[in-house]
A = this chain, B = another copy of it.
Amino acid sequence: MKISTRGRYATRAMLDLALHYGKTPILLKDISTRQAISLRYLEQIISPLVAAKIVVSTRGPRGGVMLARPPRKIKLSEVIQVLEGPISPVECVENPGICTRASSCVARDVWTDLARAMYGVLESTTLQDLAERQEKKRAGRELQYNI
């Protein structure tokens, strides 16, 4: 029951963009370096986010990518759904038609509970939350070094 690298890399890339929000466009190359993700693979991950209008991009010199909205307006659930598809552990949760047993299936009820729990966490976490946690950690680390 793992999330793939696409969802994970997307999350890291979006956090990177959130930490640079409000400035000039960010180069994919720089995200690639900072997050240790191959540029070519990163492109494929950013692309659907652009299509979903969560990220905007500009080409050419001085181009790059930026968040389309403020970090507090972007929920992690959106990002994950774009890269991973529906947030549910089993397809029959969102699409009962694929299984004739769906209506009487108790297992499906549990998978639905599980889906809701997962969704709840991702829905209540924004990029801003991530950026703030990051900032807090960084500050914590600096304090440590100064002791």
Q: Name the B residues within 8 Å of A53 (CB-CB).
A: none
Secondary structure at chain A's binding surface: helix, strand, loop or mixed? helix
What interface size band does chain A fall in?
35 or more
A113, B106: Cβ atoms closer than 8 Å: no
- Take A84-B1, A91-B2 as given contacts and tell me if A118 and B125 are in contact as well, using a CB distance cutoff of 8 Å: no
A130, B113: Cβ atoms closer than 8 Å: no
Q: CA A61 – CA B110 in complex, angstroms?
A: 35
**Interface hit among A8-16, A21-29, A43-51, A62-70:** A8-16
Query: Copies of this chain, how many?
Result: 2
B110, A1: Cβ atoms closer than 8 Å: no
Nearest-neighbour CB distance to chain B for A107, whole angstroms, equals 5
Say yes or no: is A73 at the interface (Cβ < 8 Å to chain B).
no
Say yes or no: is A52 at the interface (Cβ < 8 Å to chain B).
no
Nearest-neighbour CB distance to chain B for A95, whole angstroms, equals 13
Q: CA A15 – CA B133 in complex, angstroms?
A: 41
Within 8 A of B (CB), among A79-119: 80, 84, 87-91, 104, 106-107, 109-111, 113-114, 117-118
B130, A122: Cβ atoms closer than 8 Å: no
Q: CA A91 – CA B4 in complex, angstroms?
A: 11
Picked from B12, B90, B125, the residue with its CB within 8 Å of the CB of A113 is B125
